[in-house]
Chain A
Amino acid sequence: MKKPIISFQDVSFQYQSQSEPTLHHLSFDIYPGEKVLIAGASGSGKTTISRLMNGLIPSAYPGELSGKIFINGESVTDQTIFDLSLRVGTVLQDPDTQFVGLTVAEDIAFALENDAEDQSVLKQKAKDWAKQLKIPAILNNHPQEISGGQKQRVSMAGVLVDEGKILLFDEPLASLDPIAGRESIELIDDMQKNGATTTVIIEHRIEDVLYRPVDRIILIDQGKLVANDTPNTILKSGILAKLGLREPLYLSALKYAGIDLTQVADVDSVGKVALSASTISALQAWVKPQQARVQTMDVKPMLQANNISFSYDSKQVLNKLNLNINAGEMVSLVGRNGVGKTTLSNIITGFLHQSSGDLVLNGHSINEASIKERADHIGYVLQDPNMMISKNTVSEEVALGLTLRAVAPDEIERRVAETLKVCGLFEFRHWPISALSFGQKKRVTIAAILVLNPELLILDEPTAGQDWQHYTEMMTFIRDLNRKIGISVIFITHDMHLMMEYTDRVVVLNNGVIAYDDQPMKLFANLDLLKQASLVETSLFTLAQRIKVDPEALIASFINQEKVVQTNE
């Protein structure tokens, strides 16, 4: 019997600043060479577990710990954060805060610099690890010059230089687009196979992590351990949805087709899941051929971008781009990072000015309109709500735009109250914003824009970093807004599920022009286009290929069913 490399024995923990314990009597072991996924909804306590492993508790977060934790057979309470860092290498969620060096090479060598290693060692190791992580070409680049996926590789290299035995990933997928995320999961897997490392991944996006096999999943809910088993067993049990986590899409499809998962082998991978003849015929029967959607309403173009060009630093970002947004539409704007999605939305809102081309809103040119004038019609919500909030309480924040427009006080009060009710924030109106959760803050920022009665809302990654339950709440909220007040919405997103389920139209930006503009399922059946948009094929696509049906039809059937399930809920 091997000895565990990480051992939690009846661990409870309460942060000093909180009135309730975050973890309750947690016990589990992780063995050398294992790859373990620790999953749970936000607020479940999974991040607290990682902080206990790497020593941030108690060094940065004091609190009361009971029970015993052993790393490598030694109790963590006897070790400093520095001792632990040699054994547990942590890759944090936000690569921008982890990347502290001025260049890639310096950041990789950072830990060794702190050990006062010779410069020759620093140079050699930085070079070696950059090569292993396939980033040798960017050694001398600045953090501002490289992509999110590359930054994460730098972060990985920066902890791998320690050649520690345990690698700890805190939500590695949170800030990556689907392709980069998939590459990252592949890389983690390769590192695991090459070295004698133990890998612990903290994530709530289970299907994406399972793109490569893991040995075990530990499920945490409200600080308690609810399951500790192989992916196969856990997926069959159907427990994920109950914990507010997303089940893999292909398994949901099997369930919709009336298949009992407990009777199916190898459910942890869409490539391997055992599909018997009866399973296949059940699935095929479930897939309904899709009739072409008939456009019943007259579409009324609300915003037209005509021949928009924009260049930056003598680089052509947008090249005579044309795009129409119709009244009442929900549209996804996708494309790989840096392709110009943000540039385009900044041109629409007036944050940037196009070098040529016209913007027409409701038949009138807005080329000369100021940021503030455009904001009366077009609202833009940044990804990070903290970057928008400047007032103390919810109602003050929502009122700000009206106050600055010198609207009469009683009208402000009325419109703020109305908006807060629409956004489900009315009961929080006197709360300080700092007391709200991330999702609620995001809602406040949307409310603060909605109060100006815009006809179009541009949302930058509205669901980034949120678990399934919060995600669903946010998207249902936006869809209701769209239905209730008829506002058009553009989502800038990488989230394929969002595109599929909540928008009727996907616009792919590539090489400065619109490369695709149509229904989402057609895009999901086109591998080349997906790649251009930095997206990956979903497991539904793979499933469709395995059972030899038209992927578009399967995806459409799936979406229809999801919508039915949701309205019933």
Chain B
Amino acid sequence: MNNNVLIGYKQRDNFVDHLTGTTKLIGLIALSVIGMVSFDTRFLLVLTIGSLALFRLSGIKFHEVSFILSFITAFSVLNLIAVYIFGPQYGVHLYGSEHVIWQGVGPYNLTWEQLFYEFNLFLKYIFTVPLALVFLMTTNPSEFSSSLNRIGVSYRISYAVSLALRYIPDVQNDYRQISKAQQARGNEISKKGKLTHRVKAAAQILLPLIFTSLDRIETISQAMELRRFGKLKKRSWYAEKPMKRSDFAALMVIALVVVIGICLFKLNAGRFYDPFR
């Protein structure tokens, strides 16, 4: 049984590992949001290179994440193709100029503007990947909820996140057992048959999983009340890590990146960096 919740946290003993979950959480949210909004290519390039560097620093081995990388590559390529099919002139429209590389049929030509726009999209698709993986693989799940609580999420909701992480492996295990037992009776999620039939068959398989889980919700909440969960307005956390100097330094860097990103909006008079002007 894979006990590493989600994908493979383990202690790695390096700079990234030693930062608190709070720092990494703020970093992930702040950077992914600013990178989501910004269309300044220079900024996105710096973000991508920076997050790749962080990935190296974190000591995660390539083979640990190769499956995800290939999936993300496929996802990005498909999306970029779809963007071209549905909006071959979208780059031209965005940048307000047209530099044709190759004259195709109808709207389907190739322009530098379109290529450049899609390159921006590509950077936006991929720069979060190293960040998210670093976050998942170097943050102790136990510490995650205390981090949420520290950035202002109520402790009840923070603890709900901890419970989710606690029970994901159990749910997976139960699902495996239940679906095999249903298969034995002839019920399975197959690739054949009508879609509605397949969903109905899936419903039969999921019913036992969902109903045993609903019972479990009752008993777990009783067990938690019997140990005074929800008694006070706050709670302390066994796995909380104190903020250290390196955390504040990292937060400063993150803040600086975000501020630069915002300043670039002003400088570019909008979200887009336009080299064609």
- Residue positions of A touching B, CB distance < 8 A: 54-56, 59-60, 81-82, 85-86, 90, 92, 94, 96-98, 100-103, 105-106, 109-119, 122-123, 126, 142-145, 158-159, 346, 349-351, 371-372, 374-375, 379-380, 382, 384, 386-391, 400-401, 404-405, 448-449, 452
Contact = CB atoms under 8 A, between A and B. Distances in A.
Nearest to B163: A100
A204 to B, nearest CB: 19
Contact of B1 (A114, A144, A351): A144
Interface stretch (B83-91, B98-106, B235-243): B235-243
Interface residues of B, number: 54
16 contacts: A55-B226, A82-B228, A85-B228, A96-B170, A97-B216, A100-B163, A100-B220, A103-B142, A113-B238, A114-B235, A115-B235, A116-B236, A118-B236, A386-B211, A386-B215, A387-B174
Given A97-B216, A114-B230, A375-B184, A144 B3 contact: yes
Given A118-B236, A389-B207, 8 more contacts: A97-B219, A103-B239, A114-B235, A346-B180, A371-B184, A379-B184, A387-B178, A390-B204
A388 B174 CA distance: 11
A388 B181 contact: yes
A105 B215 CA distance: 26
A430 B47 CA distance: 64
Nearest to B237: A113
A372 B178 contact: no
Contacts of B215: 386
Contact of A60 (B170, B225, B230): B225
Contact of B227 (A110, A350, A388): A110
Interface in B1-30: 1, 3, 5
B226 A405 contact: no
A346 B184 CA distance: 11
A115 B232 contact: yes
Given A114-B227, A401-B185, A405-B186, A388 B208 contact: yes
Contact of A102 (B141, B219, B226): B141
A117 B208 contact: no
A384 B239 CA distance: 34
Nearest to A389: B208
B71 to A, nearest CB: 23
Contact of A390 (B5, B208, B222): B208
A56 B226 contact: yes
A94 B219 contact: yes
B138 to A, nearest CB: 16
Nearest to B186: A404
B208 A119 contact: no
A122 B238 contact: yes
Contacts of A96: 170
B182 interface: yes
B60 interface: no
A349 B240 CA distance: 45
B129 interface: no
Interface string B205-229: 1011101100110111111111111
Contacts of A109: 238
A158 B224 CA distance: 11
Contacts of B218: 60
B220 A119 contact: no
Which applies to chain B's interface (DSSP): helix, strand, loop or mixed? helix
B277 interface: no
B204 to A, nearest CB: 5
Contacts of A102: 5, 141-142, 162, 165-166, 239
B59 interface: no
Given A100-B223, A144-B1, A123 B238 contact: yes
Nearest to B223: A98
A438 to B, nearest CB: 12
Interface string B140-160: 011000000000000000000
Nearest to B141: A102
B29 to A, nearest CB: 22
Nearest to B241: A119
A100 B167 CA distance: 9
A387 B237 contact: no
Contacts of A98: 223
B177 interface: yes
A85 B226 contact: yes
Contacts of B237: 113, 119
Contacts of B178: 387-388
B76 interface: no
Contacts of A112: 236
Given A116-B235, A119-B238, A372 B220 contact: no
A454 B169 CA distance: 32
Given A113-B236, A372-B186, A388-B208, A90 B226 contact: yes
Contacts of B191: none
B97 to A, nearest CB: 54
Which of B181, B225, B237, B240: most chain A CB closer than 10 A?
Answer: B181
A401 B188 CA distance: 12
Contacts of B1: 144
A126 B178 CA distance: 36
A400 B232 CA distance: 49
Contacts of A389: 207-208
A549 B136 CA distance: 63
Contacts of A452: 185
Nearest to A388: B181
Nearest to A342: B177
Contacts of B166: 100-102, 143
B183 interface: yes
A59 B174 CA distance: 29
| 8 closest A-B pairs by CB | A404-B186, A375-B184, A111-B227, A401-B185, A351-B180, A114-B228, A97-B219, A390-B207
Contacts of B32: none
A114 B232 contact: yes
B240 A404 contact: no
Given A102-B141, A390-B207, A142 B212 contact: no
B186 A375 contact: yes
Contact of B235 (A113, A123, A448): A113
A274 B162 CA distance: 55
Contacts of A113: 235-238
A56 B223 CA distance: 9
B142 A60 contact: no
Contacts of A106: 142, 238-239
B231 interface: yes
B232 A158 contact: no
B185 to A, nearest CB: 4
B205 A390 contact: yes
A97 B184 contact: no
B234 interface: yes
Contacts of A94: 219
A346 B219 CA distance: 29
A371 B180 contact: yes
Nearest to A352: B180
Contacts of B227: 85, 110-111, 114, 158-159
A145 B218 CA distance: 24
Nearest to B225: A81
A345 to B, nearest CB: 11
Contacts of A400: 185-187, 204
